[in-house]
Structure formats: C-alpha cells, structure tokens
Amino acid sequence: MSNAKTPTTTAPSPLTHFDAEGQAHMVDVGDKAHTRRVAVAEGRISMEPATLALIQSGTAKKGDVLGIARIAGIQGAKRTSDLIPLCHPIALTRVAVEFEVEAATHSVRCQATAECTGQTGVEMEALSAATVALLTIYDMCKAADRGMTISNVRLLEKSGGKSGHFVAGG
C-alpha cells in the first residue's frame, strides 16, 4: 500500500509559486517580455535618542553606520536570489539606498530602489535591500541599544511587467 498522495485537479492558484497540485516551484518567466522594471521599498528602525545621536555624529564604535548600511543594502539586493528560495537571479542595472534621519521619532527611514531590464520584477530585491540595510544599522549599534525596532518594511511602488504599475496607499 502506497502512502503517496494522488494528485487532484484544482483551480489555478493566484499564488504563482504553486502549481495546480499545490507544489512549490520557480515561476517560468521564459515567455515574458524584457521590460524596464523598477521597485521602491522602505522600512524604519527606531531607537533610543542617544543611539540616534551616535549615528548622526559618526562616533559609533564600528564607524560610519549609514555608509556601511548603504553598501550592505546594495549587497542585499544583489544576493536576493540566494536568500529567497524561489526568487530568480536578476541582472540588476541599479540599486540605490537612501536614509532619512527622523529626529522627532528617534528613527531612521530607509528607502531602497532596485532596477533592471528583464523578464521578472525587482520587488524582492528592493525589499531585501531595505531590510539588510536596517539589519546592518541594528548590528552596528546593538552594543549601545539592543531595544531597536525594525518596522514597516513594505513595497512603496513598482513599475514594469505584465501586472503594471503599483503604488502603495497611505
């Protein structure tokens, strides 16, 4: 007697990384058009006022926190397909990581933009860039403040491809 599941016919899933039997797979993008694709993501790290002052003054023990976090974010975008199992490797044409210090909320906002000309989008690369940049800030400042909080990582905008243009609300 076999314990193997018998495939059943089901309606197609709106989740593209699952086949008709519900098995995970890498999406076939071979027939998709090469188009310019851009995605912008953001996130925030909140901290104690003294920790933010260290970042702003450049006197953190490990050096230029935002400069190193910028490079880490770019590297994070480039390594996305190594981290997300079903994500396609993408030839990125541009990655930008920017920071805005928000003194009133004792936080740093990160915005990451990823671009390519290809057959699949760069949303995951933009989200990875923002997340890795914020994690790097945490790593560099954890000796001063282990209570930092990373929050609100989200896709702000994406363009290109079959699904068209998306802009987040609020």
- Active-site positions read 139
Neighbours of 115 (CB within 10 A): 22
CA distance 111 to 104: 18
CA distance 112 to 125: 9
User: Which of 107, 102, 97 has its CA nearest to residue 131?
Assistant: 97
Task: Yes or no: say if 141 and 53 are a contact pair by the CB < 8 Å rule.
Answer: no
Task: Yes or no: say if 95 and 39 are a contact pair by the CB < 8 Å rule.
Answer: no
CA distance 113 to 128: 10
Phi, psi dihedral angles at 139 (to 5 degrees): -60, -45
Task: Yes or no: say if 137 and 65 are a contact pair by the CB < 8 Å rule.
Answer: yes
